[in-house]
Amino acid sequence: MLGEQYAELKGKITSQRVLDAEGPSLETSVSVSGTMKGVKVQDLIAFVGMPTSEKGIIHGIGRGVIMVAGGEEPEMVTYTGEGIGRVSSAGNIKWCGSTFLESHPAIN
C-alpha cells in the first residue's frame, strides 16, 4: 500500500571528507541500524553531496550495503541512489530520489 511505513532506522555520520573545495563536494559515510519489514538490518552508506546552481539545493549520489540477519544464513543487498536534497532553515536536509537495489546470495 502506498504510504505504508516499511522501515525504522537510526544512524549517525561516521566520517566526512572534502573531495573538492572549489565545488565544493563532500563525501559522507553513515552507519545505520534498525528494522525493515520487521527484520533487523545494518546499513552502511557512502554518498557525495554537491551544491547545485539553485541556492539550498544539493545533488547527491551514493552507494550502500544492507546486511540482513534473517534465516539460517545472513544476506546482503547492495544499492546505488541519486537524489536532490533541500536544506531547511534549521540546517536539516530532506532528500527525494531513487534507489536501485540488487540482492546477493547468502554469505558463506
Range of the domain at 99: 7-104
2 located within any domain? no
Indicate the number of domains in the chain: 1
24 located within any domain? yes
CB neighbour list of residue 71: distance below 8 Å, 6 or more residues apart? 106
If one counts every other C-beta atom within 10 angstroms of the C-beta of residue 67, the result is: 15
63 located within any domain? yes
Amino acid at 89: S
pLDDT digits (tens, 9 = 90+) for 52-95: 999 999 999 999 999 986 666 668 899 999 999 999 999 888 98
73 located within any domain? yes
1 located within any domain? no
pLDDT digits (tens, 9 = 90+) for 6-34: 889 999 999 999 999 988 999 999 999 99
68, 78 contact by CB (below 8 A)? no
30 located within any domain? yes
